[in-house]
Homo-oligomer: A and B are copies of this chain.
C-alpha cells in the first residue's frame, strides 16, 4: 500500500475518534449547562476537527482513485464520448443487435473493418515480410487430442459461481475483485489493516485456489450482484467452445482458444521447409474463441477475437538475434519484476541495457520487445501510455524462461495487448510426448542414449531440430543392449515387452540397474506394459558407456512467442486517437480521430464545394486517379455545408480532404492542423498518395504548395 494512503487512513481514523470524543465533550458541556462562551468554543473546535477530517477524506479519496480526484469521472466521460462516436459511426457495433445481441460478440462496421484490415496489413509487412516469417493458416475447429496435449482441455478454465436461486453465472475472481475495489474506493472508514488485507487479496487474486476463493467470498459475505442471492462454491468452467466433428457425435472438438497450436503441430514440416535451419519464425493471423463467463469492458473482453501470433523457434543454447543491433538503442517505458515488487512505477530504460543486465532474459526476446514497440507506436499508440511489464514469478508458467506484456493504458486502466514470452521447449515437447507417449521418454529422445533395439522405428513425430557438426564430435553415450536370446528363454511371449521396457530406461535408471546387476547379479524390474515386476539377470542385458562419434546434436528448440490481441490494440488505438475540439462557432464539441494515414479507414474524401456538374466531374476525375493510385477514398456530393462535411470526415479519422472549388486547382486540407494547400487537379491524388505512403510529411507539402487562406472552407 502506498505510504501516503496508509498514513491518510490512519490519520482519518484518528480524526474520526477525535471528532467523536469532541462531540461527546460538547454534549457533556451542554448537559452540564456550561457557559455559552465555553460551549461555543468547544463547538468551534469540533467544527474545525470536522473540517480537518473532511479534508483528509478528500485526500484519501484522491489517493485511492489515482492522481487526480476527478480522474475516474473524467475517464468515464471520455470513454462515453469516444464509444458513442465509435458506435454511431459503425466502427463497431454489438453483434446481432436486432435480436438484442449476445454479450461479448461485436461486429466491425465499415470504418472499423478498414482500420482492422490496415492494422493486419501493417502487421504482415512489419513482421512477416520484414522477417521472412513462414505464415500459415489453420482451421479454427480443432480435435480434442491436440488441445488435450497442449493442456487446454484440462487447464483452460475460469472459476465460476452461480446465483443459487436464478442460476446466473459469474466469474468468482471478478466478484471478489469488484468487492475489494469498491470497498477500498468508496468505504473510507475501513482501517489501514483492512485496506492492506484487501490490497493483498487483489494482488494475489490469480493465485487463489477454488477453495480459497470460496472462503473469501463467504468471509466477505459477497452475494449475487443482481439479486443479492447467496452464491454457490466456485468451480472450474472450461472456456473453450465445444462442438462435435463429423456426424457420428464421437469426435469431440473445440473452437481453438489460440492460433499457436496450429503452428506447433506443423513444426516438422516448417523446419523442413526452412531447409532444416534454425532460427526461423512461423506466424498466423486468425480467429480465436473464449466462451467467457460474463464478458464486460466492450472490445477488451470478448468471446471471439482476432489473434496474430508469432512462434520464433531458436536453439536454446544460442538465443542471439542477427538484427538485435537495430533495436538496441530504443528507449521506452519498462516495468521489470523488481520495480513492481518494490512498489515503484515503470521507467524509461534503454532496451540494450535491459538485455545486457539480464532484466530481459535474452537478445531474441529483447529484439521482439523492440519490434513490438515500433509496431504499436507506428500504429498511433501513445508511447507515454505504453509500457512493457514483466510477469511476476506467480504469473508465469513454470516452464517459461521470461515473459513481458505490452500494456496500453486506456480508460479501463493498463490493458495487456501483446504478450511476449520465452516458452522454452514446452509446447513442442507437449505434442511430441503426447504423441509418442509410452514409446520413449524425454531422456531417450534427446539425451545420450543410443538404441540397439527397434524403438526408433516407432518413434512417431518427435518435434526436434538438429545441429549438424562440421566435424564429428566424440561423445560418451549410454548403450542398452538387451540379449534377446536369454530374454526369450526366460520370458517367452512377453519377451518383446521386456525388451522395450529395458530400452525405454533413461540414463539414471539404466546406470542404477547396471550397478545393481554388478553387485547382486539380479534385479526386479517393473515392465509397465505387463503391469508387473520381472527378474532381470546379468546375462540378459548389457549396459555400457561407449565413446562414439556424433555427427549432430538433436534438441527441442525453444520458442519465443509474441502474441497480439488485435481487437484490444484497435480499441486502445481508438481511445488514443480520439479527441474533441470546439466548432468554429464554439457552440458544440466536434469529434476527431487522429489516425495516422497508415491505419485511417479512408485516406481521403473528395468534396465538390457546391453542387454543380463541373465540380462533380472534376471530383470524379480525382476519384479515378485516387483509385488508380490505390488510395481508399469517398466522394461526398451532399449539399451539406463544407464545415459539416469536414466534421463528418474528421469523425471517421480521414486524414485528408480534397475540396473541388475550381476546375484547375483544388484545396487539400489536413485533418488535425486544419491547414490547407492549393494543388492542381492533376497533382492532387499523387500529393495525397505520397503523404499516406509515408514518402513525405504534411509539413513537406505545406512548405511546397501555396496556402489556402480563404475562410470559406473550414467550419
Contact = CB atoms under 8 A, between A and B. Distances in A.
Interface of A: 89-90, 93, 95-99, 102-103, 105-110, 112-114, 116-117, 124-125, 129-130, 132, 134-143, 145-146, 160, 167-169, 237, 241-248, 251, 253, 255, 262, 265-266, 268-270, 273, 275, 287, 289, 291-294, 303-304, 431, 435, 460-461, 463, 627, 630, 632, 634, 638
Q: Which residue, of A95, A129, A247, has the highest number of chain B Cβ atoms within 10 A? A: A247
A109 B136 contact: yes
Given A124-B117, A143-B96, A110 B241 contact: no
A134 B112 CA distance: 11
Contacts of A105: 139, 141
A627 B129 contact: yes
Contact of A435 (B98, B145, B255): B98
Contacts of A169: 246-248
A146 B109 contact: no
Contacts of A109: 134, 136, 266, 269-270, 273
B97 A110 contact: no
Contacts of A167: 248
Q: Which residue, of A97, A132, A168, has the highest number of chain B Cβ atoms within 10 A? A: A132
A89 B293 CA distance: 42
Nearest to A160: B247
Given A113-B136, A634-B132, A243 B265 contact: no
Contact of A137 (B112, B268, B292): B112
Contacts of A140: 140, 255, 287, 289, 304
B241 A243 contact: yes
Contacts of A93: 266, 269
A108 B136 contact: yes
Contacts of A135: 110, 113-114, 117
Contacts of A638: 275
A255 B243 contact: yes
Contacts of A275: 638
A134 B632 CA distance: 12
Given A108-B136, A141-B241, 11 more contacts: A105-B139, A105-B141, A107-B139, A107-B262, A109-B273, A112-B137, A116-B137, A140-B255, A241-B245, A246-B291, A247-B293
Q: Which residue, of A90, A109, A273, A463, has the highest number of chain B Cβ atoms within 10 A? A: A109
A98 B265 contact: yes
B291 A99 contact: no
A461 B101 CA distance: 13
Contacts of A634: 132
The 5 closest A-B pairs by CB, nearest first: A108-B137, A169-B247, A110-B134, A98-B461, A139-B304
Contact of A102 (B125, B245, B287): B245
A711 to B, nearest CB: 28
A713 B264 CA distance: 38
Q: Which residue, of A110, A132, A145, A291, has the highest number of chain B Cβ atoms within 10 A? A: A110
A275 B90 CA distance: 13
Given A141-B289, A269-B93, A244 B247 contact: no
B95 A138 contact: yes
Contacts of A303: 139, 141, 245
A635 to B, nearest CB: 9
Nearest to A237: B247
A143 B102 CA distance: 8
B291 A245 contact: yes
Contacts of A130: 627
22 contacts: A89-B273, A93-B266, A96-B146, A96-B265, A98-B268, A98-B461, A99-B143, A99-B435, A102-B251, A102-B253, A107-B136, A110-B273, A113-B136, A116-B137, A117-B124, A140-B287, A169-B248, A241-B244, A241-B245, A245-B303, A246-B292, A247-B291
A623 to B, nearest CB: 10
Nearest to A240: B243
Contacts of A137: 107-108, 112-113, 116
Given A96-B142, A137-B116, A141-B241, A246 B103 contact: yes
Contacts of A145: 96, 99
Contacts of A265: 96-99
A130 B134 CA distance: 31
Contacts of A90: 269-270, 273
A209 to B, nearest CB: 19
B139 A95 contact: yes
Contacts of A106: 139
A257 to B, nearest CB: 13
Nearest to A254: B243
A113 B98 CA distance: 36
Contacts of A95: 138-139, 262
Contacts of A124: 117
Nearest to A601: B135
Contacts of A108: 136-138
Contacts of A107: 136-139, 262, 266
A93 B125 CA distance: 25
Nearest to A148: B99
A437 to B, nearest CB: 12
A303 B242 CA distance: 16
